Structure 1
Amino acid sequence: MPAHGSSVADARHRVRARLREWETDEGLRDDAEMIVSELFTNAVMHTGSEFITCGMGYDGTRLRLEVSDQGRAPTAPRPRAAGVDEEGGRGLLLVGALSQAWGVRPTDDGGGRVVWAELGPGAPPF
């Protein structure tokens, strides 16, 4: 998808629709939608990417979400302590609270990075 703020809502809606098709429960859909929104927004705001991709896999128990960018940010994503009056800065804290695990890895072609999160019972990663 294009790396524009307007694509965030499209990504959220696509994730929710696919999770409905997979007949996941409402709580998982809500959490996944929030996480994708945060990760996609961060990629738009902080990476200078032209496009961003979202992927997910579900094994009937655990859900893995991935948001890939072109890796143009000077630093890797990391949670930070936002001030009380700041509007932003809490997204990755929220991702950490809603997921069992999350992290960052290079894309398969090395031209960017993937920020991923896993939801579901605490189990080894995919």
Structure 2
Amino acid sequence: EAILQAVNDYGQSIGKEDLPIIIGITNTYRPRPQSVYYTQTRRWDLGLNLFLADLKVLTSEPSPFARLKVMVHLDHVQWDEDEELLRWDMAQFSSIMYDASTLPLEKNIRKTATFRERYGHTIVIEGGC
């Protein structure tokens, strides 16, 4: 919410209320598993669903942030540990950083290319080496 407030405040200061913003979250990415810590349950699925629900409420009428153009970035989706997440409807994200960096480079490239072929027509895909 603080990020939305800061963008909203800046937009008002320059006379533009519909600024674009990308808000990102990681899932089970070991250095920073944000969705895991979104709730006390430590369940990534609950955390990620709550994050998305919070954003929906905060960016819908009558919220003061309803005019912002919010895009959701899913960062460092792990090719192996996020296998269950990868079966979700990925269309709820604007962009995804698909991370197969634990694999040898050739396998990483193949996995990332397969992911891009599956979702690249609707979502911006970034690959991790």
* Fold match by TM threshold 0.5: no
Rg larger for: 2
State TM-score, norm by structure 1: 0.31
State TM-score, norm by structure 2: 0.30
